[in-house]
Amino acid sequence: MLSSRTHGGRDLPQYYLVYFLLIDFLGFPSMGKWEKSAWTIPIRYRGKLYGIEHRKMGLGVFAPNLDPLAMKSGSPSTEAEVDAKEITTLIIKAVSVAEPYFKWRAEQAASTSLFNVLNKSDPLFERYEFFCNRFKTLSDEAQKKGVDRMIAGDKTTVMPKKLSIYIKQKEATWNAQAAIDAFFSWTEHVFIHLAILQSKIKSGDSVAILAKSDWNSKFKAALNLADSETKEHYDRLLDIRTQIRNFMTHGAFGKKGEAFQFHSGAGSVPVLLTESQKNRYSLNGKSAFDEQSAIAAIEQFIGFLWSDSRLPAQHYILSSLPSILTLAEDGTYTKCMESEDKMKALVERLTYEFDNAGNMDW
């Protein structure tokens, strides 16, 4: 009860590795939860009692005050500090040796629903919003400067404005392309959570497989392509993704996929790289994507995504709570997807429980 944290125990490995090593694997006794403490393992080292404890302020080796009349923890003795350092060194070595066990333990867990899937949708969407808003601001500024240039008369005024417009337009284009890339990054993440909330995937293995899949597979896991409006959005976004991926990620040199020019009687002719393995080259392809139209299509899709039966999911995903696979398996998410009120009540309850767990208020 009255024990003080040692400096020698501050270098312990992550709390979960120590827990699985000592309690799960080696069968050490655990004293269970206590106020501001998740678990305590009493150990005897060189004939003296110590505690390895995961408290609110972190994991550590604690030295008890064994004076029966003591009213407070006091400070660890020099001897206790030496012992704590030696205990920490032994645990670090043991964790290294137990690596095969940890891998086996992780594989066993992955086949179950005892998983939380971290929800990082907020920062991913904020990145998209940042570049999208910057694109709109720069586009508006370029347009305004264009109007001002039309009004100006002398060349000394017109030429600098023309250069300024060009720079604004170029930066607007860059930000639009970054926004498109950020959007697809966000959707790859949010589609997984949406699939969990709809109880379409319920185990760690299923999440891992979907996480490694392409954007198309994630979209199909979260939304129903049999719906005509969904299919229309899918086709439009897939076209944008293909072109922006070729242009930005794979270095295909041009927005239409043009990578070469060959010499002919017609002059310099662009040769396009295609997606087809049978015919890799073409002289004719889709028209180059337009950033303004692409952003408009993306914004239309975002509005469509958070509508109708998927609206309750928005409340959960925006809460930053992790998706809990056990709630997908036991039907909790399915029930809460029936209405916004049910989902809001679930979010409120889980937020309260996560706060208490974080504070170790049991």
Give the Cα-Cα-Cα angle 202, 205, 207 (nearest 5 degrees).
Answer: 60
| 86 in Cβ contact with 45 (< 8 Å) | yes
Give residue 334's identity as a one-letter amino acid code.
Answer: T
pLDDT of residue 270: 72
pLDDT of residue 264: 73
pLDDT of residue 276: 54
Give 240's DSSP letter. H
Backbone φ and ψ of 39, nearest 5°: -165, 155
Average pLDDT, consecutive stretches of 10 residues, N- to C-terminus, the chain (362 residues): 89 95 94 89 94 93 86 88 96 97 90 89 97 94 69 55 83 93 96 96 91 95 96 93 70 61 73 58 60 94 95 95 95 96 97 90 76
Strand-pair category, 58-64 with 3-5: antiparallel
pLDDT of residue 129: 97
Question: 50-61: string of b/e by CB count within 10 Å (b at 16+)?
Answer: bbbbbbeeebbb
C-alpha dist (Å) from residue 211 to 51, 181, 192, 195: 40, 17, 7, 11
Give 256's DSSP letter. T
State CA 227 to chain mean position distance. Answer: 28
pLDDT of residue 327: 96
Burial of 154 (0-12, 13-18, 19+ CB in 10 A): exposed
Burial of 279 (0-12, 13-18, 19+ CB in 10 A): exposed
Q: How far apart are CA 203 and CA 195, in angstroms?
A: 12
| 354 in Cβ contact with 324 (< 8 Å) | no
Q: How far apart are CA 37 and CA 161, in angstroms?
A: 65
Q: Is 58 left (phi over 0), alpha (psi -120 to 50) or beta?
A: left
Residues 6+ apart with CB under 8 A from 115: 109, 203, 204, 207, 324, 325, 326
pLDDT of residue 165: 85
| 19 in Cβ contact with 39 (< 8 Å) | yes
Kindly report the pTM of this predicted structure.
0.79
